Amino acid sequence: MKVIINDFEYNLDTPKTILEFCKEIGIKIPTLCKDERLLPNGACRLCIVEIEGYKTPVTACSQKLKDGMKIYTHSEKIMKMRREILDLLFSNHPNDCLSCDKSGKCKLQNYCYEYGISEGSFKREIKDLPIDFSNKFYSYDPNKCIKCGICVSVCNNLQNSNAISFVDRGFDTYIGTPMDKGLGSCDCVSCGNCVSACPVGALNPKKKYEEDKFRYWEVRKVQTTCSYCGVGCQINLLIKGNRVVEVEPINTIPNDGLLCVKGKFAHKFVNHPDRLTKPLIRKNGKLVEASWQEAYRVIKEKYDEIMEKKGPDGFGGFSSARCTNEENYLFQKFVRTVFKTNNVDHCARLCHASTVAGLANTLGSGAMTNSIAEIEGTDAFIIIGTNTTENHPVIGTKIKKRVKEGAKLIVIDPREIELADYADIYLQIKPGTNIAVLNGLMHIILKENLHDMDYINERCEGFEEFRKTVEKYTPDLVAKICHINKDDLIKAARMYAKANKGALYYSMGITQHSSGTNGVRSTSNLQMLTGNVGFESTGINPLRGQNNVQGACDMGALPTDYTGYQKVFIDPVRERMGQFWKRDLPDKKGLTITEMMDSANRGELSFLYIMGENPMISDPDQNHIKEALKKLDFLLVQDIFLSETAEFADVVLPAASFAEKDGTFTNTERRIQRINKAIDPIGEAKADWQILMEISTLLGYEEYYENPSEIMDEIAGCTPSYGGISYKRLKNESLQWPCTNKDHPGTKYLHKNTMARGKGLFVPIDYEESKELPDEKYPLILTTGRMLYQYHTRTMTGKIEGLSEIAGKSYIEISPQTAKIYNIKNGEKIKVSSRRGSVESYAKVTEKINPGVVFMPFHYVDGPANRLTNPTLDPIAKIPELKVASVMIEKIERSSYV
């Protein structure tokens, strides 16, 4: 179509609004209520334009262009009307721009300046409405609110929390919460997405301390990747001096301008006064500050001594899912070339080792098959063993949005998680019965002939053996094993099998079992049975917990794999890698995290190098870990804070945080994303890659890189799936592996046309009970997990005041029936014991959990759930059974729950 705008002719072939098109061609039309992610609402009227033949001006945000339209965006009449609109808005606005925290970023202030409004001509008596400070992270000043409605729309249509809405009418309108509870007590999850979208100073991050204060013209912005969960949200760090003062979301892949409470508000750990700023050395039993030279001298002495005494078997290293790809690459290379052992592992062993093993076995690749953006096209979801809205909040938000648009949702989880409220069918299974429920679904699908036989014939193998196994799992049997209603199971099977595009999402509820690898294979069976692997918006989607746990696996921080899952025990692979690194490499498979701890306990492993991990809190059976750390001859820890593990160290090296270095993280959907140095390292801290380079050279394997970009070039040179990755490309492209050469566009979804292993493998899997079942002494099932307001072992989130105020204490969820049996009231302190030890925690009585089952988040030092958990391992992936243990509870004292 042809349109004429301000007397110039333009051609366009796709329908667009006037505002969209004008933006494209560089005509600036002011608007206060338009957010690109939302449907236009025309509330502010500021974007009015004149169209020839139209009686009155129209809003450019809502008016679509039509062929032949003649538009004037800045005519005299329009400019006058806009001035009047701005005048009216400013007349109803406090005149305190100088003291407003949003000054410099406020769109109303900027437009008033641009249109020459310095004072409101319709000034009326302004009511001094009370400011809502009740939220821990942000405040709402109704006096400054222009009622554009963006915050309400973001909350209800993008974040899908429905926490706020318009209250009252006319001049009295304000943004309120149900029953006027205030933003601190309503359903608000403090994602801050409304705060980021507010065009004026009504919603603002709280600035409690002097050092938090800044003016927007004083700060610089550095684009980077959120350092919390595996979603990998893109953010701008706002920097004043050498301090991160605010975080802004970026409207791009994968988060589309959304964040959760951690990404938006939990950045103060970076400049926290507790950061390690100097190396520490243990002298006379105490850790004391030392120079880098001194610390390196001790490391060298200990290395020489232990290498002579014990050889390579005496050494091991824990790499870090918190660190960059480049650092994980260097770490595993260091362990293999300097320690001369494959004893290298990281916390994936405790979360998704079973995913890597299970999916590699059935499909040939152990990663999330599809992309986050594809949620938009999914017709039915199975959410099993993932509390998505709390642990991968932005993905949870996208799933909720898709369900509101009409997609079906089946939730399978022992706890009634938030997504259960949105589900068409919720199956509240007994912990540890995933395989039974999945077999039950597949039994019904097969019996009712709802499976995709053409797909199976063409793309899979092992079907007949598998069919025989699931034949046993009748709805009656499964209902009995899982403690669910068989009719719900049948409905779920039919609903899912009939959907055009079915996607399965899971997390540690599937993997952290002694049958974790088999649980993963079962998800693969279901998705192949329904023809849901290898297509857009389908797939098997393990959600990876930590920011770079996918990357740490990809980089070979695993005892059996080099980068890109190339096996250390395959001779030609090892020889090739040896030539690349110019060293003979060990051929013996290395020890896993749990095996290294056992080895240390036996007095075999003597020198342990831990980079950015905290096994004292994250690993099962805490007493065993403590003993192991104490028995080591030498413990070297590299971290940003003195963690519970670092307290046992002989030498502690201060590392730079994500804001202080360059590198890449690979998110849960295999997307390799840059992190960019925004500030200088705090104190004498150094980037982990620099420390690794220096220690490697010190111990005899010379390493020198000018910057992490050179390390990525080396990674690309020895890792087929990263072969096309370079910093140069990442500047302009968003790439997902496999990306095998510099012309490869990256891979949006895996297994297109054929599975990575050739044919997809059906594996017959029988349900097995968890290894520790309730008995007379320990009659309850303990299951563990994570929660929205804390992260991992709280090394970072524990430093954030608001998070600690909301969720600073350990708790244990107990059903009302269980509470009644033990005469326990909500908030009472109780003792929880398993065969491995006892902890104290606060009871949270909730209907969300079934009688006989209790839940504890594992984050807390004051009630370390992992003192109780069962270290029994999955025989294949060696992942501990963190999701099921037997416990007893006892009432100890009365106290109020905070």
Does the footprint of ligand SF4 cover residue 263 (CB under 6 A)? Answer: yes
- The CA distance from 2 to 17, in Å, is 14
In angstroms, rounded to a whole number, what is the distance separating the alpha carbons of residues 822 and 586? Answer: 55
Examine residue 551 and tell whether it contacts ligand SF4 (CB under 6 A): no
- Binding ligand SF4 (rule: CB under 6 A), the pick from 255, 369, 541, 866 is 255
Among 259, 659, 884, 889, binds ligand SF4 (CB under 6 A): 259
Closer to ligand SF4 by CB, 73 or 736: give it: 736
From residue 620, alpha-carbon distances to 347, 551, 625 in Å are 12, 23, 8
Tell me if 400 contacts ligand SF4 by CB under 6 A.
no
Q: Which is nearer to ligand SF4, 466 or 789 (CB)?
A: 789
Q: How far is the CB of 232 from ligand SF4 (least distance, A)?
A: 6
Question: Contact, 81 vs 60, CB < 8 A?
Answer: no
Q: How far apart are CA 462 and CA 601, in angstroms?
A: 42
In what helix (H) or strand (E) does residue 265 lie, and over which residues does it extend?
A: helix 261-265
Binding window for ligand SF4 (CB under 6 A); candidates: 32-40, 226-234, 529-537, 749-757: 226-234
Stretch that binds ligand SF4, among 34-42, 200-208, 255-263, 708-716 (CB under 6 A): 255-263
The reply to whether 262 sits near ligand SF4 by the rule CB under 6 A is yes
* Identity of the residue, 43 or 321, whose beta carbon is nearer to ligand SF4 in the bound complex: 321
Could you tell me which stretch among 35-43, 223-231, 343-351, 726-734 binds ligand SF4 (CB under 6 A)? 223-231
Nearest residue to 317 via CA among 696, 57, 24, 778? 696
Distance of alpha carbon 390 from alpha carbon 191, whole angstroms: 11
State in angstroms the smallest separation of the CB of 529 from ligand SF4: 31
Using the structure block, give the residue that is written with the tokens 């062929």: 67
State which of residues 112, 239, 394, 492 lies at the interface with ligand SF4 (CB under 6 A): 394
Shortest reach from residue 863's CB to ligand SF4, in Å? 23
Shorter beta-carbon distance to ligand SF4: residue 196 or 525: 196
Nearest residue to 199 (alpha-carbon basis) of 113, 91, 105, 116: 105
Q: What are phi and psi of 745, to 5 degrees?
A: -80, 0
Least distance in angstroms from the C-beta of 228 to ligand SF4: 3
In angstroms, the CA 58 to CA 359 distance is: 55
Residue 509 binds ligand SF4, judged by CB under 6 A: no
8 A C-beta contact, residue 689 and residue 287: no
Q: Which is nearer to ligand SF4, 790 or 870 (CB)?
A: 790
Binder among 69, 194, 197, 233 for ligand SF4 (CB under 6 A): 233
Chain length of the chain? 898
Q: Are 147 and 160 in contact (CB under 8 A)?
A: no
| 199 sits near ligand SF4 (criterion: CB under 6 A) | no
Distance CA 845, CA 854 (A): 10
Any contact of residue 845 with ligand SF4 (CB under 6 A)? no
**Alpha helices (H) along 571-612:** 571-581, 593-601
Nearer to ligand SF4, 197 or 394 (CB): 394
232 belongs to the binding site for ligand SF4 (CB under 6 A):
yes
Q: How far is the CB of 262 from ligand SF4 (least distance, A)?
A: 4
Total residues contacting ligand SF4 (rule CB under 6 A)? 13
475 binds ligand SF4 (CB under 6 A): no
Cβ at position 547, least distance to ligand SF4 in Å: 7
The answer to whether 316 contacts ligand SF4 (rule: CB under 6 A) is no
The answer to the question of residue 228 lying near ligand SF4 (CB under 6 A) is yes
Q: Which amino acid is at 282?
A: R
Instruction: Determine, following the binding rule CB under 6 A, whether residue 550 of this chain makes contact with ligand SF4.
Output: no
By CB under 6 A, is residue 270 in contact with ligand SF4?
no
Binding ligand SF4 (rule: CB under 6 A), the pick from 260, 489, 577, 865 is 260
Q: Which residues lie below 8 Å from residue 706, measured CB to CB, with a gap of 6+?
A: none
Convert residues 420-459 into a mask of x (bound to ligand SF4 by CB under 6 A) and - (unbound). Answer: ----------------------------------------
Q: Which of 225, 222, 389, 496 is nearest to 787 (CA)?
A: 389
Closest listed residue to residue 83, CA positions, set 119, 125, 59: 119
Beta-strand (E) ranges in 544-643? Answer: 607-611, 634-639
Helix axes 571-581, 708-718, angle to 10 degrees: 150
Contacts of residue 630, defined as CB under 8 A and 6 or more positions apart, other chains included, come to: 648
- Segment near ligand SF4 (CB under 6 A); pick from 34-42, 228-236, 292-300, 578-586: 228-236
The single-letter DSSP state of residue 156 is: I
Q: Which residue has the tokens 């199976």?
A: 456
The residues binding ligand SF4 (CB under 6 A) are 226, 228-229, 231-233, 255, 259-260, 262-263, 393-394
